[in-house]
Structure 1
Amino acid sequence: MEHPRKWSRTRAHSVHALTATGAVFAMFALLAAVETAWSWMFLWLLAALFVDGIDGPLARKYDVQTFAARFDGVLLDLIIDYLTYVFIPVFALYASGLVPGWPGWGILIVVPFASALYFADVQMKTEDASFEGFPGCWNMFALVVFVTEPNPWLTLVLALVLSAAMFLPIRFVHPVRTARWRPLTLALILLWMGLAVAAAWGEFGLPPGLATVFALVSLYLLGAGAVQQFLDRKKA
């Protein structure tokens, strides 16, 4: 019986190791950002996002809380997420010149501050495994800004609205765990990832048709949870 238990511990610790690779991707993304290699920065951030999308299901499948309890997978995940979701993307928005001056300073101050509080919120998940409030996906927000290049003041306004939305009772879907519309959400997040890789690899240029699809999928991921919430309240 000892051999199966050792194998279970090995698999569980391997999931922690997989999660920790996100820290390496974060370092590579930071080095690319310092060198203003924005395409490579986003490619590394997308690699970290992919790892973040698969390590949770693997952790539950291999029961890391039982067989690798010494390491807190949730804490490890949050540390890496703060680097890859918040710290590096916000730095990129300012350092790239897309959000310069006062709008840039506003984002540099508000977003890391609000996100630090949100990532420490022990009630960020709802009963259906969605997020309570905007889940701080500034990596995705920053990539959309790099592709669309909106007015810096508009970017600031959107960032302020989303920062406030972190603490409002508005639901946002978890692309893997939210059961409602899961097949559609999974398909669209995979489509978003594919378009994101294409955009980053192509120096943030997408053909008009694909750019429209990218924007529409981004809007779905941003608003699907709120629509579900509205339908639930209307049904009640």
Structure 2
Amino acid sequence: MTSQTKALLVHLFTATGAVLAMLAMLAAVDGKWSLMFLWLVVAFAVDGIDGPLARHYHVKKYAPRIDGVLLDLIIDYLTYVFIPAFALFKSGLLPGWTGWFAIIVITYASAVYFADDRMKTEDNSFHGFPGCWNMLVLVLFAVEPSFWLILILVVAMAVAMFLPLKFIHPARTVRWRLLSLPVAMAWTFFAGWAAWVDFHPESWAHWGLVATSLYLLLAGMVQQVIPPRNRQSQGNAS
């Protein structure tokens, strides 16, 4: 198999996310939230795998006709933003005007953020909340907090998109990656399990979801507060 064929296959693998998005949307339209999230979890796993594959097989060099970054962004907007926002609106977790407010804020702010070519930091983290609404909404379905808390979280995360806050990429942010990557894999497992049991309130997966979500949400900001050891040693040396 040639290098060009391998690179093209990576693009085709990424494109399966669009099919998964459609399957998730069809489930959402029918109000089958658990099935919808199962498809989104599979899409999340594909999104986590295709990046390392693309870098390994040098898709920019061997399959440059297809813009892998653009393809990934299109699918991410569907699976990370559009479908979760729809689910949050139709689920009844946000009654009345709050549901309308949330979907407008989520879709509008995310569209602007996804078009920002400075969303990545020097260490391959994200500059601002990276629009992972699929992760937040899944946790909200599992925990079912009050609608006021949901509304506060939606506003806070939308604002956080445009603040100088760092959010890690579990696979690409080198610092703490030995911990971050297993945590992200654990989140995927807990998310799939919670959806599989139809978000049963006594499922232990909910606690795992909350714990791993808090780490993924806060790790980057903690890194901003605590400088790397090499910087500390440089400071001491100077």
TM-score range, shorter chain: over 0.9
Name the structure 1 match of 2:227: 232
Is 2:142–2:194's contact at 8 Å kept on the other side of the alignment?
A: yes
Name the structure 2 match of 1:214: 209
**Alpha-carbon distance change, 158 to 17 in structure 1, aligned in 2, over 3 angstroms:** same
Aligned-partner Cα distance in 1 for 2:37–2:208: 19
Name the structure 2 match of 1:177: 172
Query: TM-score, normalized by length of structure 1?
Result: 0.94
* Deviation readout 1:142-179 (Å, 9 max, x if unpaired): 10000000111210111100000000110000011000
Is it true that 1:76 corresponds to 2:71 in the alignment? yes
Residue from 108, 114, 118 that aligns with 2:113 = 118
Equivalence map 1:1-236=2 (5 Å): 7-205=2-200, 207=202, 209-232=204-227, 235=232
Deviation at 1:212, TM superposition (A): 2.4
Aligned-partner Cα distance in 2 for 1:87–1:79: 11
* Deviation readout 1:45-71 (Å, 9 max, x if unpaired): 111110100101100000000100000
Unaligned runs of at least 5 residues, structure 2 = none
Unaligned runs of at least 5 residues, structure 1 = 1-5
Q: Which moved more, 1:83-92 or 1:211-220?
A: 211-220
Is 2:139–2:206's contact at 8 Å kept on the other side of the alignment?
A: no
Aligned-partner Cα distance in 1 for 2:149–2:29: 25
Deviation at 1:213, TM superposition (A): 2.7
Query: TM-score, normalized by length of structure 2?
Result: 0.94
